[in-house]
């Protein structure tokens, strides 16, 4: 298998790197070179018609894209130390939290990154820059909500053990910080969770 990705701060390839580090899977990464347009090259567009990373090329030439889908595939191949749940209820709860994080927390981060960050805002009309900036408040509100959810004292987001939901959460919050969006100081439970998951060796996985 060949794993096509991109080094940090790209959050989606990092999800897969953390996942395989937690699993102990040997899967070397081939960087695409986004800053040089490698993700839009004819070669990569043939792998992923959306021109995105990560993409996993299987031994039979099949391609899989989307970070969670890639990790689900690898989980099926390497079920030991499950990160998508040990019971039907736990699996459903983890899936629920993955969707919540992507839709409620990652969405405003993405809108801020695309429309307000200095690297991208110069390409947008002023009205879209203002929209991008408005997502600072949306992101802070989403973390306040997550903080209230973590107030019950649990150590991890979706289960009593580390899971894919924590990987999604960590990569989202860290990418947000890269763009200039910090965790509000009032979110003590989120800050404590972030410190816990950042201390895991897998958090440093990079290509």
**Residue 123 confidence (pLDDT):** 60
For 95-119, the pLDDT digits (tens) are 999 999 999 999 999 999 988 887 7
Give 154's Cβ-side CA count (13 Å radius): 15
**Residue 35 confidence (pLDDT):** 80
At 3, is the secondary structure helix, strand, or coil?
strand
Q: Is the pLDDT of residue 126 over 70?
A: no
Q: Is the pLDDT of residue 1 over 60?
A: yes
Contacts of 1 (CB under 8 A, 6+ apart): 27, 56, 57, 58, 59
167 or 127: whose pLDDT is higher? Answer: 167
For 32-50, the pLDDT digits (tens) are 998 888 898 999 999 999 9
Q: Is the pLDDT of residue 206 over 80?
A: no
pTM for this model (two decimals): 0.94
Q: Is the pLDDT of residue 125 over 70?
A: no
| Fold assignment, 2-77 | Glutaredoxin (3.40.30)
Mean pLDDT of 47-62: 94
Its sign, for the CA torsion 122, 139, 160, 96, is negative
**Residue 130 confidence (pLDDT):** 85
**Residue 118 confidence (pLDDT):** 79
Going from the C-alpha of 31 to that of each of 55, 57, 133, the distances in angstroms are: 11, 13, 31
**Residue 147 confidence (pLDDT):** 98
For 130-146, the pLDDT digits (tens) are 888 999 999 999 999 99
**Residue 122 confidence (pLDDT):** 62
131 burial level (CB within 10 Å; 0-12, 13-18, 19+): middle
**Residue 84 confidence (pLDDT):** 98
Which of the four CATH numbers 1.20.1050.10, 3.10.129.10, 3.40.50.300, 3.10.580.10 does domain 88-204 have? 1.20.1050.10
For 170-196, the pLDDT digits (tens) are 999 999 999 999 999 999 999 999 999
**Residue 129 confidence (pLDDT):** 85
Q: Would you list the domain boundaries of the chain? A: 2-77, 88-204
């Amino acid at each position: 298998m060949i794993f096509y990705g991109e080094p940090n701060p790209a959050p989606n390839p990092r999800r897969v790197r953390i996942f395989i580090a937690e699993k102990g899977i040997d899967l070397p990464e081939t960087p695409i070179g986004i800053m040089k347009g490698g993700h839009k090259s004819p070669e990569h567009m043939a792998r992923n018609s959306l021109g995105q990373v990560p993409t996993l090329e299987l031994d039979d030439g099949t391609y899989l894209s989307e970070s969670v889908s890639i990790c689900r595939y690898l989980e099926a191949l390497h079920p030991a130390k499950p990160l998508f749940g040990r019971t039907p209820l736990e699996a459903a709860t983890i899936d629920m939290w993955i969707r919540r994080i992507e839709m409620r927390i990652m969405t405003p981060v993405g809108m801020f990154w695309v429309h307000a960050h200095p690297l991208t805002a110069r390409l947008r009309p002023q009205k879209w820059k203002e929209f991008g900036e408005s997502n600072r408040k949306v992101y802070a509100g989403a973390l306040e909500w997550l903080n209230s959810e973590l107030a019950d004292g649990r150590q991890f987001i979706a289960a009593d053990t580390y899971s894919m939901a924590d990987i999604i959460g960590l990569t989202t919050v860290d990418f947000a910080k890269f763009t200039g969006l910090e965790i509000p100081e009032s979110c003590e439970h989120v800050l404590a969770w972030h410190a816990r998951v950042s201390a895991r060796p897998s958090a440093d996985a990079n290509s």
